[in-house]
Amino acid sequence: MRVVLQRVSEASVAIENKTVGSIQQGYLLLVGAEDTDGTEEIDYLVRKITRLRVFADEAGKMNLSIQDIGGAILSVSQFTLYADTKKGNRPSFVKAGNPEHANKIYEQFNDKLREEGLKVETGEFGADMQVNLVNDGPVTILFDTDNK
């Protein structure tokens, strides 16, 4: 699995000009899965993301987690995280998971985040979405379970 995490002061996702998910302070997660991903990858990412300390404490140091600040998550599926750009100018997406499997992994990932007590808003898997965000910092962190 690959996840791009962005610390945000606000974020939303719309489909056909209708907002389907929005949050205030927290994380925007762009989530991609491949066919070999399963429970082990989900558990690893949930553990890393929920414990990640990138919010400022009273001394202004990145020392607080999303749970410490009562933040929320906007999770958006994004198969293009598996783009292969080594050959030519048109990316290949053959490493991206089969849509049925990838959707299952995406849903399980979001459910596990909710089990940690987090509010999780989502886009719609496979839809053409417009994502708006205010990246706070900016703070952007990449996770790839093939490189844990």
Q: Which amino acid is at 50?
A: T
Using CA atoms, how far apart are residues 25 and 36, in angstroms rounded to an integer?
32
CB-CB neighbours of 118 under 10 Å: 21
Using CA atoms, how far apart are residues 11 and 91, in angstroms rounded to an integer?
27
Interacting residues of 122 by C-beta distance below 8 A, sequence separation 6+ = 13, 20, 21, 74, 75, 76, 77, 110
Residues noted as catalytic: 78-80
Using CA atoms, how far apart are residues 112 and 44, in angstroms rounded to an integer?
11
What DSSP designation does 95 have? T
